[in-house]
Amino acid sequence: MSNTATADGPEARASATVKPELMTWDSRARRVVTLYVPLACFVIILLFPFYWMAVTAFKPNAELYDYKTYNPFWISSPTLDHIRHLLFNTSYPRWLWTTMLVAIASTFLSLFASVLAAYAIQRLRFRGSQYVGLAIYLAYLVPPSILFIPLATMVFQLGLFDTPFALILTYPTFLVPFCTWLLIGYFKSIPYELEECALIDGATRLQILMQITLPLAVPGLISAGIFSFTLSWNEFIYALAFIQSSESKTVPVAILTELVSGDVYQWGALMAGSLLGSLPVAIFYSFFVDYYVSSLTGAVKE
């Protein structure tokens, strides 16, 4: 900047009172154009489907299918009809309950398994623990799309088909690798000296895990828990393949398979269902955004 000022020195001196103002205005305009305008576009585009979901969910049908007389971006007479239909004429509460149950159970199961595994890999340091850690990491790269067909035959043979246990037991296949990896990183950040002190004081390994490492790893546990919960809430392909009866479906599957019926789509009800189905995760997430972001980025940085 100083270069340009000296380069056109005479001119700059001549308009000394005008130039700096112009410069600041210029840089501010530049900042608006290069930073705020693109950022606003991003935010609008990223949020628009949610806005559209919400607007559709509260619109009466007359407005929904008439863009000529009503402005589609706004609701002139909001209604709760779609939500009432969803709550009282379908098994939506039941689906929400099943989803919640499955998500919580599989989260606890995978947290239990991953805490022990991460502790063994990171702290007990047996021979070959690095390779076990790597194998668990690689397990995360195996996508559910490859596994669901053989898993469906297994689930059928085990007699779990159409029960929540089919989902509770299969969700850990993608939750455990992720949580273990996250917790290994977290345990790494806890000073080893604390455990050495406890060992010298005569604590057993299990006491150390329960009374020293775990309380210190609570933030890590919370982020692993949030992640597992949202991942299980969002899971689709296993729930679609392993659950058949209408009552024990999870929300994402049920909305797509139960609410979409016939040729005329009930867009209002569909959007209300999507909105209600997204809300629990969104609320849950909004309380723990920072944990979520740190675990997301922490896991990638590992």
Partner 1 sequence: MSVTATATWKNVRQEPSRLVRLFDWKPFLVFICMLPAVGLLAVFLTYPLGLGIWLAFTDTMIGRGGSWVGLENFEYLMEDPVFWNAVFYSVFYTAFATIGKFALGLWLALLLNQHLPFKSLLRAIVLLPWITPTVLSAIAFWWIYDPQFSIVSYIVVDVLGLRETYIDFLGSAWPARWSLIAANIWRGIPFVAICLLAGLQTISPSLYEAALLDGATPWQRFTQITVPLLMPILAIVMTFSIIFTFTDFQLVYAITRGGPVNSTHLMATLAFQRGIPGGQLAEGAAIAVAMIPFLVFATLFTYFGMARRKWQQGEAND
- Which lies closer to partner 1 via its Cβ, residue 14 or residue 41? 41
Backbone angles phi, psi at 177, to 5 degrees: -55, -45
Q: Please list every residue from 194 through 233 that binds partner 1, using CB under 8 A.
A: 204-206, 230, 233
Query: Quick check: 195 and 208 in contact, CB under 8 A?
Result: yes
SS3 of 179, please?
helix
Q: How many residues bind partner 1 (CB under 8 A)?
A: 87
The two structure tokens encoding residue 162: 């159409």
What residues from 65 to 94 belong to the interface with partner 1 (CB under 8 A)?
65, 67, 72
- Residue type at position 81: D
Contact status, residue 57 vs residue 78, Cβ threshold 8 Å: no
Rounded to whole angstroms, how far apart are CA atoms 284 and 233?
Answer: 11
**Where does this chain touch partner 1 (CB under 8 A) — which range of 9-17, 20-28, 51-59, 78-86?**
51-59
Residues 127-166 touching partner 1, rule: CB under 8 A, are 132, 136, 139, 141-154
Of 205, 135, 198, 186, the C-alpha closest to 294 is: 186
Name the DSSP class of 247.
Answer: G
Query: Do the Cβ atoms of 283 and 226 come closer than 8 Å?
Result: no
The only residue of 43, 194, 197, 210 in contact with partner 1, by rule CB under 8 A: 43
Stretch that binds partner 1, among 4-12, 80-88, 89-97, 167-175 (CB under 8 A): 167-175
| One of 180, 223, 228, 248 touching partner 1 (CB under 8 A) | 180
Question: Scanning residues 20 to 39, which ones bind partner 1 (CB under 8 A)?
Answer: 35, 38-39
Return the amino acid letter for 211. Q
Residues 230-249 that bind partner 1 (CB under 8 A): 230, 233-234, 236-237, 240-241
Judged by CB under 8 A, the chain residues 110 through 129 that form the site for partner 1 are 110, 112-114, 116-117, 119-121, 124, 126
User: Which one of 12, 23, 53, 101 is in contact with partner 1 (CB under 8 A)?
Assistant: 53
Using the minimum distance from each CB to partner 1, give the nearer residue, 16 or 46. Answer: 46
Number of H helices, E strands in the chain: 19, 0
Q: Enumerate residues 6+ apart whose C-beta is below 8 A from 199.
A: 208
Instruction: Say how far apart CA 116 and CA 88 lie, in whole Å.
Output: 43
Per CB under 8 A, which of residues 269..298 are in contact with partner 1? 270-271, 273-274, 277-278, 281-282, 285-286, 289-290, 292-293, 296-297
Query: Any contact of residue 251 with partner 1 (CB under 8 A)?
Result: yes
